[in-house]
Structure 1
Amino acid sequence: MHLLNRNKWLIWLGISPSLIVYTLFCMIPIGISFYYSFQNWDGFSDPSFIGLDNFAALMKDQVFWSSLKNNMFVLLASVLGQIPIALLFALLLNSKLRGAKFFRTVGFLPVAISTVIISLTWNMIYNTQYGLINTLLKAVGLDHLAHNWLGDPKWAMLAVCLTIIWQYVGLYLVIFLAALQNVPAETLEAAEIDGATGFVKTVKIIIPMIWGTILVSVILCISGSLKTFDLIYVMTNGGPAHTTDVMAIYMFNKTFSSFQYGYGSAISVAIFVVSLLLISVASRLLKAKED
C-alpha cells in the first residue's frame, strides 16, 4: 500500500490517456444525449426546451416497445446461447483435446471478422433462392421447410439471433479458456483422488472456481446485446415490419433519418437506463448465487 501511495502520480500518468479518450468519446456524448433528450431539435434550427415531452411520447410509442421486446429477445438468446456453448467448448478444449489450438483459432475467427462481412455472408446463407440453408433442404427432399428466413416475420428475429450467437461464441470461449487454465491442478488432482468423476468435478469444483469470470461474461453479453446495431442494420435494417427493430436501430432511424435529434437522444437515454438496470439485476442475482 505504501508503494502504491508513493507512485500514485505514475499510476495516474499511465491511465490518463485511456481516461481522456474514454471521457471524450463516452462520458461527454452521454452527457450531451441527456441534455438533448429534454430538447426539441431537428439538428439544424436552435433547440427548444420541452422538458419531459420526449419521454412522455416514448412511453406511448408502440414501435419503441416493440424494439425493446426485440432487444430482450436478443439478450436472452445471447446469454442462453453464447455463454453455455462457449463454456462447453472451453471445457472440451481444456481437456487436452487433439488440435485444441486449431479449434480455438477457428472458434475466435468470427469475432475478428468484420461484422459487415458476416452480415453479408449470412444474408447469402439465408437467401430464399440460392441460399445454403434452402438449397440443402431442397437437396434432401425437405422443400416444405424452405423459408424466406429474413423476410418472414416469424423467422427473421430467430435467424438474426443465430447469427449473433455464432459471431460471439468465440469471444467467451477464449475468456473461459483463460479462466480454466488458472484453475489449480492440485485441486483437480485432489478431487480425482477423492473419486470425483468428470461431471461432478466440473459442476462442484471447476464452475464455482470460475464463477467470477462467468459473471463478468454475462454482464458483457447483456451490455453487448443492448448495443447491438450493425449486424441487424446490414441484414434486415429492422424489417420486416419492425420485427427485428432493436432500440439502437430505432434510435438511429429517428435521429438521422427523421431528424428528430431530441427524440433520438431520449431513446439513447432509455437504452442507457435499461442497460444499467439489467446489468445491476444480473450482477445481484449472480453474486447472490456465488455467496
Structure 2
Amino acid sequence: MHLLSRNKWPIIIGLTPALLIYVVFAIIPIFISFYYSVMEWDGFTEMKFIGLANFKEALNDPIFWKSLKNNMFVVAASVLGQVPIALGLALLLNRKLKGGKIFRTLGFMPVVISTVIISLVWGMMYNSRMGLFNQLLTSVGLENWKQNWLGDPKWAMIAVCITIIWQFVGLYLIIFLAGLQNIPQEIYEAAEIDGASGWTKTLYITLPMMKDIITIAVILCISGSLRTFDLIYVMTSGGPGHSTEVLAMYMFEQTFSSTRYGYGSALSLFIFFFSLALIYLSTAILQRKTKK
C-alpha cells in the first residue's frame, strides 16, 4: 500500500493512454449504439426517430431467431468441447512427459494462426468432392458416409463448430496449464501419504482448486462464441439457407450490406445484453455448484 501511494501519479499517467483508448473504442460506441438504435438511418440521409421499432422488428424477424439459435449452438459446442478437452490435455501435459513443450506449442499454434487461413484450409478439407474427410472415408471403405459437409444444412453447423473447437482449445489449454502449475505440490504429497490415487487427487484436489480458473475459461468461451464472425463468414457466409448464420454476421449484413445502421445498432445491443445475461447465468450456476 505504501508503494502504491508513493508511485500513484506515475501509475495513473501510465494507465491513462490505455484507459482513454478503451473508453473511446469500447465504452463510447456502446452509448452511441443506444442512440442509433432508436433511429432509422442509412448513413446518408437525415436520421428519423422511430422509438423501439427496430427492437420490435428484430423480435419479429425469423432470421434473427435462427441466428440466435445458431449462436447458442456455437456457445454450447464451444463450452462443452473446448473447456473439457483443454482441461484433459492440460492434466496430461502437466505431467513430466518427453516433448511436453513441443505439444504445448503445437496446441497453442491454431490460436495465433490467421482465422482466414484456418477457414480456407478447413473449407478445403470439408470439400465434398476432393476434401480430406471424404477422401479418408473412401479410403477405408465408408463411401456411404461421405457428406457435403458445408453445403448440407444438417451438417454445416456441426462442421463449423468442430473447426471453432480445434482453433481455440489451445487458448484454454495454456490457461489451465498455468493454473495447474500454481497448485502447491505439498498438497499432492500429503494426499499420496494418505494413500490417494491419481484419480482421487484429480477429483478432490485439482478440480476444486481449479474452479475459479474454470469459471473464467467458461466466461471467456461464452463471450468469444457470441462474437464469432470471421471464421463462419469465410467458410460458409452464413449458408446454406441461413443454417450457419450467427448474430454477429446478421448484424454485419443488416448494418453494412443493407445500410440499416439503426437496425444494426439495435441488434448489437441485443448481442450485448444477451452476452451479459448468459455470462451472469453461467457464473451463477458454476458458483452454486462449487458451493455445494
Q: TM-score, normalised by structure 1?
A: 0.98
Deviations 1:238-260 (A, max 9, x none): 00000000000000001111111
Question: 1:23 maps to what in 2?
Answer: 23
Question: 237-246 vs 25-34, which deviates more?
Answer: 25-34
Q: Where do residues 202-241 of structure 1 align in structure 2 (5 Å cutoff)?
A: 202-241=202-241
How far apart in 2 are the matches of 1:57 and 1:173? 41
Measure how far apart 1:2 and its partner are.
Answer: 4.0
1:55 alignment partner in structure 2: 55
1:129 aligned counterpart, secondary structure: coil
CA–CA distance in 1 between the matches of 2:146 and 2:256?
A: 36
1:10-45 Cα deviation digits (max 9, x unpaired):
332222121111111111111111110110001111
2:249 maps to: 249
Residue type at the aligned position of 2:158? L
- Partner of residue 259, structure 1: 259
Deviation at 1:285, TM superposition (A): 1.5
Question: Which residue number corresponds to residue 182 of structure 2?
Answer: 182
Report the secondary structure of 1:154's partner residue: helix
Q: For residues 43-122 of structure 1, what are the structure 2 equivalents within 5 Å?
A: 43-122=43-122
**2:131 corresponds to which residue?**
131
Question: 2-side partners of 1:112 and 1:280: how far apart?
Answer: 29
Could you give the per-residue CA deviations for residues 119-156 of structure 1, whole angstroms, max 9, x where no partner exists? 00000000011100001111111111101000000000
Distance 1:238 1:34 in 2: 27
Distance 1:79 1:15 in 2: 33
1:189-230 Cα distance to aligned partner (Å, 9 max, x none): 101111111111001001111111111100000000000000
Partner letter of residue 151 of structure 2? G
Q: What percent identity do the matched residue pairs reach?
A: 63
> What SS does the corresponding residue of 1:275 show, helix, strand or coil?
helix
Match of 1:149 in 2: 149
Superposition deviation, residue 6 in structure 1: 3.9
Aligned residue identity for 2:140? V
* Cα deviation, residue 289, structure 1: 2.3
Which stretches in structure 2 are left out of the alignment for 5+ residues? Answer: none
Aligned counterpart, 1:290: 290
Separation in 2, partners of 1:138, 1:275: 42
The 4+ residue runs of structure 1 with deviation greater than 6 A are none
- Within 1, Cα distance between the matches of 2:120 and 2:241? 20
Give me the whole-angstrom Cα distance separating, in 2, the residues matched to 1:49 and 1:146: 53
SS at match of 1:155: helix
Number of residue pairs matched by the alignment: 291
- The residue type paired with residue 168 of structure 1 is F
Deviation at 1:9, TM superposition (A): 2.4
TM superposition shift of 1:5: 3.4
Letter in structure 1 aligned against 2:178: A
Separation (CA, whole Å) in 2 of partners of 1:139 and 1:156: 23
Query: 3-state DSSP class of the match of 1:151?
Result: coil
Q: Distance in 2 between matches of 1:280 and 1:119?
A: 31
What's the counterpart of residue 171 of structure 2? 171
Return the alpha-carbon distance in structure 2 between the equivalents of residues 290 and 8 of structure 1. 38
Larger CA deviation: 121-130 vs 6-15: 6-15
For residues 151-176 of structure 1, the C-alpha deviation after alignment (integer angstroms, 9 at most, x for no partner) is 00000000000000000000000000
Alpha-carbon shift at residue 283 of structure 1 (Å):
1.3
Aligned CA-pair RMSD: 0.9
